[in-house]
Structure 1
Amino acid sequence: MCGITGYVSTDRRAWESLPSMTQALVHRGPDADGYYRDGAVGLGHRRLSVIDVEGSNQPLISPDQDIAVIFNGEIYNYRALRRELADAGHIFTTNGDGEVLVHGWRQWGRQLLEKISGMFAFAIWDRGRAELFLARDHLGVKPLYYAWHAGSFVFGSEIKALLRFPTMPHDVDLDAVALYLECQYIPTPYSIYAAIRKLPAGHWLSVQNGALTSGSFWHPSYAPKHALQGTAAVDALSARLSSSIQSMLVADVPLGVFVSGGIDSSLIAALATRISGRALDTFTLGFRGNDVGSEHEEAARVARHIGSNHHCLMLSPEEVLPALDRWGEVFDEPFGDQAALPTMLLAQHARKSVTVVLTGEGADEVFGGYSNYGKRIREDRLTSLLGARGSPMPFLIRRLPARIARDRILKAAAEPRSRRYATIPNIFDALLRREYFTEKFRHSVSASITDRAELFYNECDSPSYLDHLLNIDARLWLPDDLLAKVDRSTMAHSLEARVPYLDHDFFGWCARLQPSDKVRGKGRKLLLKRLAERHLPIDIVHRPKQGFMMPLQRWLGRELKGDLEHALGPAGLQRRGLIRSDAIERLLREHTLNIHNHAMRLWVLLILERWFARYEPSFSL
């Protein structure tokens, strides 16, 4: 795992700024740095040594000096590609995975993207073609930001690197603010800065002859469906998941597993132990007291069951809060997923023992693990009936007060099927903008998470409504919330996180499973649970889903009460002119008096103002 950054620019200050840009990513790669310059092109790299520890420092340069590569992530099938390239006459000088990008680009060009499997963000400078080529992995495990401004192209693993480029504007993107308030994260391609964009998962970007072009090289396909049934389906799933895990166990440094006590990470730990043939280190976070649901006892049971070396970090909720002071440093833009707090602390704890961890992210989006899916499917017949062609209901619903019209069933009935589901969560619904946003802010924004969700609904090639819902979350919630949380929280402590459920071959195979193998009635993750029953205690497999849920309501009413009132007061968020002052005061009053639990809304507002106060961006309405 590493940090990458660079530019194409004739600005004379560009090369001088590259060390500072690269140093901004030192947490992603504390072991080494490297630089490359060829005229108007500069590349910077920070390395976390995982494979070929003594070699493979970057940038990696071709023997004829025509190709330079910087790379963040891991290429899991690099050994097979290395053999294929060696058979074609290529000579390797390192034992690492990154060098296959150098020779693979020379051999296959852009078709390289059809060959590689892994989590990655990379940049290739091809001197002969005068082309800078960037790509981001299939599902967006690794981040990649870029900006094209005033004749300069700049890119990096995190926003903080781009902000150190001398001509980078710091103007806020108001659409990004509105999207953040709607769903607690900023969806691709937006970033909080108007000049900076995220490269979407499964996309490439080319800078050549003063022009920028981009395209998609992969997206999930949900058809045709497998004909597998019964034990054969479980066996096939076992083989596929085991293959993904085995590819991710390759490392020349200590490796462990995050185990929450739920099925997803516990199954990864069990299979990884069986495949490796040794006791692995497992890590979990537990909470003292009754304010937060804790799964540390279940995680300990899993550890005993598989025979791992278990490490449990026990904290009180109050001991989690100090991590909030690093929030703005770790996340360069407003990010409201409160589970990042314990994830950051768990990563810090694990880094004392290992350099790489496997995690269970992605299983819910692959196998339909959220209760929301079953609810949406059960409601689909009713909402389709209410919103049928010729029905007056959509017309009538749109004229209801926003607080009524945002009811899940009514809101869905008022929209075509492609716009009924807009991923999770929903904080400040777009229908409530008139109630909460100032008039200037409301008239300055047009983006909605529903617009983004509709794109991914229409992208799905399956007749199954469930598959459409899964694809929306796999393309929005997964990369921009869950994976962003894991990447930033772990890399803040120089810890590499690998996600076996998100190997793109495994994901693509699972996408073609029958919907009934995932969700049926109130049952969820059905096929995955059948596999887990082979490796885990039955009660662990069938435990209700939990997750990291911090006591936000109590924190905002006690420990953070003073900070909240100041941040949202006249000297804080109210002076930004984004949220109506009377709306902020009503939220605070109703929450304090326990009239309504506005914890999530107050939390995302608090995070937003803390970001404004820390970064002081260019901003006006």
Structure 2
Amino acid sequence: MSPFCSLMKTLCENLNVIFDKFVTLGNTTIFFDEDIYNKQFLGDKICGNAKNSGEILLQLYEKYGSDFLSQLNGNFAFLIYDKDANLAFGANDTLGAKQLFYYKKSGKFIFSTSIKSILSALNHTPSPNLKALDSYLSFMKTTSYETFYEGIFCLNGGEYFRLENGKFEINSFENLRGIDEINLDFETASKKALDLLAKSLNLRVASSQNPCFLLSGGIDSSMICALYKQIYGGKFDTFSLGFDEFKNYDESAAALESSRFLDSNYHQITLNKSDFLDILDNFFEIFDEPIADSACLPLYHLSKKITQNGFCEAFSGEGGDECFLGYRLYFRVLEFYQKSLSKQDYPPISKDYEYLRRKELGLPIYGSFGEVFTHFGKSHLLKNYALGEPLSEYKNDYTNLRQMSYIDFKIWTGVAMSKTRQIGVKNALNFKTPFLDLDLVKFSLSLADSTKYQHSTKDILKFIAKDFLPKEIIERKKKGFSSPFMEWILAEFGKTIIDEILSVNKLIPLFDEEFVKILYQKATQGRFKQHLYSLFIFAKWFKKNYI
């Protein structure tokens, strides 16, 4: 019997759940996976007799109904079943750090935090859901309810469902839209941001035992470490990743410099080609479905080494760019909002052309930091396939920079959270991200463009960091968590990459052969590497499941 099936609970004829943890009070049971950082406050002030997280959530639900969701600060996915009412109620957190998947067919449901669990319970592999390709090719992972398996769906961040008398409804409790803009001067906004970041760090440290820190040498991770050191003092451990070749990708020298300033116990982990290819070979032992963020494999290697060093929790600087306008791309795209430009002046395959196409259609121009294929690229890649407009659901009334931050919180942060969640589960490592505290995220979205953007990227973060870090670290040029992923893949597989991708066409005539060959040729020249990698990962998944 599958270990997943042994955890499956049948709640009624048409409802099954697969969770590791559950608590029952009377005729009500909660199945849950959570890191709720304010649960001590909730337990003391609201649920004084609750013994654990499950009981706190149950009592909150009984007292407030779905309104209690707005009181939770942290990451969570859960399902509550009321046996007397034959009612199921479930939700996941606003940023989708914890995900809630469900299988739905012929009135029957299976809920779990893992697609693999649902597949094991089904004892068969559902047909591929090719509708999910549209968002995957754009954003590196599936979005908006879709997964790559027919009949298996995922709640979006900040949503809850009710299943009662066969009626299934989904509603939103926090979608980050409609946050009122506030007018604060720069220094006041910076002080508030620091207060919220410190509060976020304290909440996460309070539930930690012997944490370590990911340290790239950039301002985000260095700031988290420096703030921790100021509040708690003492020695702490930092980990960084380097490469034994392609030193242009290696950030370990910068990380070591930051570590010396912070006086941390420094651990440098090295990833080589052999280790990388081993992880690639076992990609779908780690991940439920295709995810094309090339940082997945290096991060998996780093996290595995962290747990081998005896740590089970790691703090990271994830989210600093989204909160404080850290991507230079924001300001490049800003020109397309502000200026009168014609798409006829740009090649159709370019992002510039795509931005102007969206502008003509009244869509958000910016498509997230991790955007890969444009509409033009997808239309030439896919045969006989009707494309949608994945960005249409992210339209809002925010000003330009606020809108771009919002889209990254909804899309790119979702990629990052999905990546770290699945890597963490595989390696028994809990990632904690103080920048992605909901209060801080909502505050950053409330700030006027003119407040957050003074001169350059991350103006607010650089301002508050002056009391914690030296100028050399604050002003260090952003490098990003890049790796020689395509250099290693090309060296190992060569033109067989094309065969791997086109093997999908044996079952479904999906990809245009000549366009795939063009992408391969461009990748050998250092261009469109992410495009080819996205197709390569999808083809590996498709071949594993269907060929």
Same fold (TM > 0.5): yes
Percent of paired sites with the same residue: 25
State yes or no: 1:188 paired with 2:144.
yes
Q: Which residue of 2 aligns with 1:333?
A: 289
Q: Residue 123 of structure 1: CA displacement?
A: 1.0
Tell me if the contact between 1:132 and 1:206 (Cα under 8 Å) persists in the aligned partners.
yes
Q: Which residue of 2 aligns with 1:6?
A: none
State yes or no: 1:585 paired with 2:526.
no
Over residues 479-510 of structure 1, what are the superposed CA-to-partner deviations in whole Å (9 max), with x where a residue is unaligned? 1x111111112221011112111111121122
Over residues 134-153 of structure 1, what are the superposed CA-to-partner deviations in whole Å (9 max), with x where a residue is unaligned? 10101111111112212211
How many residue pairs match? The answer is: 545
Q: Residue 591 of structure 1: CA displacement?
A: 4.6
Q: Say if 1:351 and 1:582 are closer, same or farther in 2 by CA, change over 3 A.
A: same
Over residues 102-146 of structure 1, what are the superposed CA-to-partner deviations in whole Å (9 max), with x where a residue is unaligned? 222222222221221111111111223221111010111111111
Q: Residue 83 of structure 1: CA displacement?
A: 1.4
State yes or no: 1:601 paired with 2:514.
no
Tell me if the contact between 1:162 and 1:168 (Cα under 8 Å) persists in the aligned partners.
no
Q: Which residue of 1 aligns with 2:163?
A: 207
Q: Secondary structure at the match of 2:184?
A: coil
**In structure 2, what residue type is equivalent to 1:312?**
Q
Tell me if the contact between 2:137 and 2:378 (Cα under 8 Å) persists in the aligned partners.
no
Q: Write the distance in 1 (CA, Å) between the matches of 2:173 and 2:242.
A: 41
State yes or no: 1:110 paired with 2:66.
yes
Tell me if the contact between 1:259 and 1:266 (Cα under 8 Å) persists in the aligned partners.
yes
- Cα RMSD (Å) of the superposition? 2.6
Aligned residue among 410, 418, 440 for 1:506:
440
Over residues 417-475 of structure 1, what are the superposed CA-to-partner deviations in whole Å (9 max), with x where a residue is unaligned? x332222434332223443222x3x2xx33332xxx232232x4x3x211111111211
Tell me if the contact between 2:92 and 2:99 (Cα under 8 Å) persists in the aligned partners.
yes
Tell me if the contact between 1:361 and 1:501 (Cα under 8 Å) persists in the aligned partners.
yes
Aligned residue among 470, 481, 484 for 2:418:
484
Q: Say if 1:587 and 1:374 are closer, same or farther in 2 by CA, change over 3 A.
A: closer
Q: Say if 1:591 and 1:347 are closer, same or farther in 2 by CA, change over 3 A.
A: closer
Q: Residue 248 of structure 1: CA displacement?
A: 0.4
Between structure 1 and structure 2, the one with the greater Rg is: 1
Aligned residue among 372, 376, 390 for 1:427:
372
Tell me if the contact between 2:319 and 2:433 (Cα under 8 Å) persists in the aligned partners.
yes
State yes or no: 1:447 paired with 2:388.
yes
**In structure 1, what residue type is equivalent to 2:24?**
I
Aligned residue among 20, 24, 30 for 1:69:
30
Q: Residue 35 of structure 1: CA displacement?
A: 6.4
State yes or no: 1:365 paired with 2:322.
yes
State yes or no: 1:274 paired with 2:230.
yes
Tell me if the contact between 1:356 and 1:496 (Cα under 8 Å) persists in the aligned partners.
yes
Over residues 80-116 of structure 1, what are the superposed CA-to-partner deviations in whole Å (9 max), with x where a residue is unaligned? 11112345xxx33x3x433311222222222221221
Runs of 4+, deviation exceeding 6 Å: none
Q: Secondary structure at the match of 1:257?
A: strand
Q: Write the distance in 2 (CA, Å) between the matches of 1:252 and 1:362.
A: 20
Q: Write the distance in 1 (CA, Å) between the matches of 2:447 and 2:190.
A: 11
Gaps of 5+ in 2: none
Q: Which residue of 2 aligns with 1:411?
A: 357
Q: Residue 542 of structure 1: CA displacement?
A: 1.2
Q: Residue 585 of structure 1: CA displacement?
A: 3.1
Tell me if the contact between 1:501 and 1:507 (Cα under 8 Å) persists in the aligned partners.
yes
Aligned residue among 282, 297, 300 for 1:344:
300
Q: Which residue of 2 aligns with 1:27?
A: none
Q: Write the distance in 2 (CA, Å) between the matches of 1:507 and 1:425.
A: 19
- Could you tell which deviates more after superposition, 70-79 or 339-348? 70-79
Q: Residue 340 of structure 1: CA displacement?
A: 0.5
Tell me if the contact between 2:212 and 2:311 (Cα under 8 Å) persists in the aligned partners.
yes
State yes or no: 1:101 paired with 2:93.
no
Q: Which residue of 2 aligns with 1:216?
A: 172
- Could you tell which deviates more after superposition, 574-583 or 535-544? 574-583
Tell me if the contact between 1:283 and 1:311 (Cα under 8 Å) persists in the aligned partners.
yes
Q: Secondary structure at the match of 2:122?
A: coil
Over residues 278-310 of structure 1, what are the superposed CA-to-partner deviations in whole Å (9 max), with x where a residue is unaligned? 322222111233354221122222222223222
- Could you tell which deviates more after superposition, 299-308 or 483-492? 299-308
Normalised TM-score (structure 2): 0.92
Q: Residue 407 of structure 1: CA displacement?
A: 2.6
Q: Write the distance in 2 (CA, Å) between the matches of 1:171 and 1:327.
A: 20
State yes or no: 1:133 paired with 2:89.
yes
Q: Write the distance in 2 (CA, Å) between the matches of 1:369 and 1:408.
A: 22
Q: Write the distance in 2 (CA, Å) between the matches of 1:142 and 1:411.
A: 34
Q: Write the distance in 2 (CA, Å) between the matches of 1:214 and 1:267.
A: 38
Gaps of 5+ in 1: 1-16, 24-33, 47-57, 387-392
Q: Residue 228 of structure 1: CA displacement?
A: 3.3
Q: Write the distance in 1 (CA, Å) between the matches of 2:544 and 2:167.
A: 35
Q: Which residue of 2 aligns with 1:535?
A: 468
Aligned residue among 385, 389, 395 for 1:457:
395
Q: Write the distance in 2 (CA, Å) between the matches of 1:564 and 1:84.
A: 58
State yes or no: 1:59 paired with 2:22.
yes
**In structure 2, what residue type is equivalent to 1:189?**
Y
Tell me if the contact between 1:347 and 1:490 (Cα under 8 Å) persists in the aligned partners.
yes
**In structure 2, what residue type is equivalent to 1:457?**
K
Q: Write the distance in 2 (CA, Å) between the matches of 1:106 and 1:590.
A: 58
Give matches, 1:515-554, under 5 Å. Answer: 515-521=449-455, 523-554=456-487
Q: Say if 1:43 and 1:180 are closer, same or farther in 2 by CA, change over 3 A.
A: closer
Give matches, 1:141-160, under 5 Å. Answer: 141-160=97-116
Tell me if the contact between 1:567 and 1:573 (Cα under 8 Å) persists in the aligned partners.
no
Over residues 138-178 of structure 1, what are the superposed CA-to-partner deviations in whole Å (9 max), with x where a residue is unaligned? 11111111122122111111211111233876122222123
Tell me if the contact between 2:47 and 2:59 (Cα under 8 Å) persists in the aligned partners.
no
Normalised TM-score (structure 1): 0.81
Q: Residue 564 of structure 1: CA displacement?
A: 1.5
Tell me if the contact between 1:61 and 1:67 (Cα under 8 Å) persists in the aligned partners.
yes
Q: Secondary structure at the match of 2:329?
A: helix
Q: Residue 242 of structure 1: CA displacement?
A: 0.3
Q: Write the distance in 1 (CA, Å) between the matches of 2:260 and 2:530.
A: 36
